[in-house]
Amino acid sequence: MKTQKVWLITGASRGFGLEIARAALAIGDQVIATVRSNPAQLTTALQNHPDLHVVQMDVTQEDQVQEAVQQGISRFERVDILVNNAGFGIITAIEEATDAEVRKQYDTNVFGLLNVTRAVLPYLRQRKSGRVINISSLFGHDVVPGWGLYGSTKFAVEGISKGLAAELTPLGIHVTAVAPGLFTTDFLSTESYVAAKTIIADYQATVGPIRSGADALHGNQPGDPKKFAQVILQLANTERPPLHLLVGKDAIAMCQSNAAKLAQEIEAWLLVATSTDHDQRITASTIA
C-alpha cells in the first residue's frame, strides 16, 4: 500500500509548480501549494481537490513564509517533500541592471528559497526524513548573454543545494537541485520574465538577439512540463536521489559543453595553476 506523502510546493500558480501539484494529487498525495496572489484561482484550477491546501505567500516576506508553513502543517500535520520552485527571470546585460533590479531577482530566486527552506527544515529534522527539491536551471551550469544575472541566482541555488546535502544527508534528508532546460511553461511570457529598463547599445550584438527572441521562443520550447512533473514524482520516490539532476536534452548538452570547456582550461593552465606552492623549506629533517 502506498504511503501518502505531503508536498509543499512554492510558485504553484502556473508552470512547473502547477504541474507538480497536479501530478502529486493525482497519485494520492497531499499538497500545500503556495501562491503570491489569488489563491482561489489555483484552488479552482485543481478542482477543489480535498487533498489540496492553497496558501497565499510571498517567498521574500519571511513572516508570511513562517505563517504559511505553519498553516500547512496544521492542515496535514507534516511535510515530506519541499519543492522550492518560486522564481522569475530577468533579461539584461549585467551592466544594464540597476541595484534594485538585481536585488529583486536575488530576493526571490535565492533569499526567498532560503526563507522557505529555513521554515520547513525544523519539521524535516524532527522526523529525520524528507526531501528538498530545489528547481535550478540549465543556466545554473552555464550562461548565455542576457541571462547571466538570472543564471547567477541559479548557480547560487546549485551551491546552496550542495551545502544543504552535505549537512542534511546524515540527518536522513535528501537534497536535489533539478536543472531543467527550456520547457513550454510561462517562463518566457511577458507576464513572467522582466527586462531591465536600461538598454546599452554596445550590448546589442550579444544581448539584443536574446531580448528580441524571447517572445518568439515562448511556446516553442522543446520540453513538456507534464513530463517534467512526472520526473519530479519519480525523483521524490527514489530511495537514493541524485544531488544534481539535469532534465532535458538541452540542459544536458549545456552542462557537458561547460564541463568540456572547464577541463580544457584546466589543462591549458595546469603548469601556471600548480606553480604557487611555497618553495621547499629547510626543516630539521632536511638538515639531518
Higher pLDDT, 264 or 221: 264
pTM of the model: 0.91
Residue 218 banded pLDDT, cuts 50, 70, 90: low
Long-range contacts from 35-44, C-beta under 8 angstroms, 24+ separation: 35/11, 36/11, 36/86, 37/13, 38/13, 41/13, 42/12, 42/13, 42/18
Going by pLDDT thresholds of 50, 70 and 90, the confidence category of residue 283 is low
Question: In this model, does residue 206 exceed pLDDT 70?
Answer: yes
CA-based torsion, 223, 227, 229, 235: positive or negative: negative
CA dist 46 and 13 (Å) reads: 10
**In the predicted structure, residue 223 carries a pLDDT above the cut 90:** no
Question: Could you confirm whether 150 is annotated as catalytic?
Answer: yes
CB 17 within 8 A of CB 9: yes
CATH 3.90.1150.10 is held by the domain 6-253: no
285 pLDDT higher than 90: no
Residues 6+ apart with CB under 8 A from 67: 57
Contact 18, 39 (CB under 8 A): no
**106 is a catalytic site residue:** no
Catalytic option among 13, 137, 154, 203: 154
pLDDT > 80? residue 229: yes
pLDDT score of 212: 80
Distance CA 46, CA 40 (A): 10
Q: What are the residue boundaries of the structural domains of the chain, listed by start? A: 6-253
- The mean of the pLDDT values for the chain is 92
Catalytic residue among 136, 137, 152, 161: 136
Q: How far is CA 42 from the centre of its chain?
A: 21
Does residue 177 register a pLDDT over 80?
yes
Q: How far apart are CA 109 and CA 251, in angstroms?
A: 19
- The yes-or-no verdict on residue 159 having pLDDT over 90 is yes
Question: pLDDT tens digits, residue range 43-68?
Answer: 999 999 999 999 999 999 999 999 99
Question: Residue 284: is its pLDDT beyond 90?
Answer: no
**Model pLDDT, residue 217:** 60
3-state secondary structure of 176: strand
In tens, the pLDDT along 97-108 reads 999 999 999 999
Other CB atoms within 10 A of residue 67 CB: 15
From residue 4, give the alpha-carbon distance in Å to each of 10, 25, 79, 101, 122. Answer: 20, 10, 11, 41, 20
Query: In the annotation, is 37 catalytic?
Result: no
The CA-based diameter of the chain, rounded to the nearest angstrom, is 83
Q: Does the pLDDT of residue 149 top 80, yes or no?
A: yes
Is residue 126 pLDDT above 70, yes or no?
A: yes
Which range is most confident: 119-123, 251-255, 275-279? 119-123
Distances (CA, A) of 227 to 16, 27, 185: 10, 15, 12
Question: If you average pLDDT over residues 28-47, what whole number do you get?
Answer: 95
Share of the chain above pLDDT 70, in %: 91
pLDDT (0 to 100) of residue 3: 85
Burial string for 183-203 (b: 16+ CB within 10 Å, else e) reads: bbbbbbeeeebbbbeeeeeeb
pLDDT above 90 coverage of the chain, percent: 83
In this prediction, residue 184 carries a pLDDT of 76
